[in-house]
Structure 1
Amino acid sequence: MRSINILDEISDGKLYDIEDMVKADTCGCDGCSDCCHDVGDLVMLTPFDVYEITSYLGVDFDELVGDKIQLREDNKILLPYLKMQDKNKYCSFLNKEGRCMIHSKRPNICRMFPLGRVYKNDDFKYFLQIENCPKDNLKDVKVRDWLGIKNYYENKKFILEWHKFIKALTFRLKFMRDEKEIEEVNKIILDNFYRIKIEGDFYNEFMKCLPEVKNRLGII
């Protein structure tokens, strides 16, 4: 049987780097918010996403939990996701006009769309998702410009470290059976990466905190 490469099924078959051109520019979306509906199980918020949102809104993480953010468990790991509202399952950060209230600080996954990431050999590339954006005739744009992320390489280093950490944590929790122990692990994650007050540079604080948490959790 022929093996199927999932990227061949969902993308244009190409991989893109930060300086490459890609047909991803929606030119403002023209009022469309289709990609902001029914994606609650897809948009997992990283510590950087939460830092950006809470700093922008001037609120604490726990003030958003239950209203704008939902804690979901996957592979025994409890992490924050965007919360969908109403029977139409629209993002809780959409206003009455269907526009994003945190657009300048939107989560990384939202920022990429219709691009996605594929990880390989401690690196990642971008791919263009096909048939997911309802807008026709997307325009060419440089990946860097489409993402619009300041301090891109620091952000990329964070994303790679977070990806490796979650992967290692998933393996660690696979062998845990005690519910109280699992609950304590998740409390450590939320307290140290999401509830923590960051006074200086996010990336420096995260890189300082990460080895301490890994040591507490017995992750190499």
Structure 2
Amino acid sequence: MNDSNTLASISDGRLYDLKDFVKADAGGCQGCSACCCGVGELVKLTPFDTYEMTRGLGAAFDDLLVDHLELRTFDKITLPYLKMIGSDERCSFLSEEGRCTIHAYRPNICRLFPLGRVYEEKDFKYFLQVDACVKPNLKRVKVEQWIGIEDYEKNKAFLSAWHNCLKALAFRFKFVRDADELKAANDYLLETFYRIAVKEGEDFYAAFFEALDGAKDRLGIIV
């Protein structure tokens, strides 16, 4: 998100860094799962999100596409999103008791909520989405603690690179009119980044940046 008018309309007007305190802590949610329903179009998954899910669940990416994820296309780019199910459009990973069954390896956007990111070239900061959480009187918490992500600097470098990759790809696809060419490019995107092969002794981030180097020429983008 980069539009200053949009940001001002949904935030408290501040941008937060990792060490800042922000009123975002819902105190364990106490059985509330309002933010886990009807958000299918919002929870766009990154390659790291799906990698963590497959590792945590011991399932392949294609297995998750059967019941828990779905492919959606925006700006001609096809990516996986969380699947919503039932009349209340609840997250497919939500238990009958309204608890997240993948909390330890939930998507990054779920970790952030009610925070969001605003990107600034190769950096980003956080903002608080006012009134996004239905719980009253959210408590102050340090951004770093709230996100709770391991290898934060590596994760941040990945998120910035992936954001720029998608932005470049959206621009590139504006000029692609051939349906077969688009399908081939999107199939390559899913195969390369969402079915990513991480070698023994290698971490996800090293595998991602190696794949990104090879994908630039194949997809015709500059990141």
TM range (shorter): over 0.9
Aligned to 1:69: 69
Aligned to 1:130: 130
1:106 aligns with 2:140: no
Aligned to 2:208: 206
1:1-220 pair list within 5 angstroms: 5-199=5-199, 200-220=202-222
Residue 14 of structure 1 aligns to a residue whose secondary structure is: coil
TM-score of the superposition, structure 2-length normalised? 0.95
Native 8 Å contact 2:197 2:207 kept in 1: no
Give how far 1:196 is off: 2.4
Deviations 1:102-122 (A, max 9, x none): 001000000000000111232
Residue 43 of structure 1 aligns to a residue whose secondary structure is: coil
Find the aligned partners of 2:49 and 2:106 in 1 and give their Cα distance. Answer: 7
Find the aligned partners of 2:205 and 2:195 in 1 and give their Cα distance. Answer: 15
Q: Which amino acid in 2 is paired with 1:186?
A: N
Structure 1's unaligned 5+ residue stretches are: none
TM-score of the superposition, structure 1-length normalised? 0.97
Find the aligned partners of 1:6 and 1:75 in 2 and give their Cα distance. Answer: 20
Structure 2's unaligned 5+ residue stretches are: none
Find the aligned partners of 1:143 and 1:57 in 2 and give their Cα distance. Answer: 27
Residue 95 of structure 2 aligns to a residue whose secondary structure is: coil
Give how far 1:211 is off: 1.1
Give how far 1:98 is off: 0.8
Deviations 1:23-51 (A, max 9, x none): 10111000000000000000000000000
Deviations 1:156-205 (A, max 9, x none): 00000000000000001100000000000001000000112323200001
Residue 65 of structure 1 aligns to a residue whose secondary structure is: helix
Residue 135 of structure 2 aligns to a residue whose secondary structure is: coil
* Structure 1 runs (4+) greater than 2 angstroms displaced: none
Find the aligned partners of 1:149 and 1:91 in 2 and give their Cα distance. Answer: 22
Native 8 Å contact 2:196 2:207 kept in 1: no
Native 8 Å contact 2:85 2:92 kept in 1: yes
The two structures, once aligned, show a CA RMSD in angstroms of: 1.2
Q: Which amino acid in 2 is paired with 1:114?
A: P
Give how far 1:6 is off: 1.6
Find the aligned partners of 1:162 and 1:8 in 2 and give their Cα distance. Answer: 25
Moved more, 198-207 or 83-92: 198-207
Residue 41 of structure 1 aligns to a residue whose secondary structure is: coil
Q: Which amino acid in 2 is paired with 1:118?
A: V
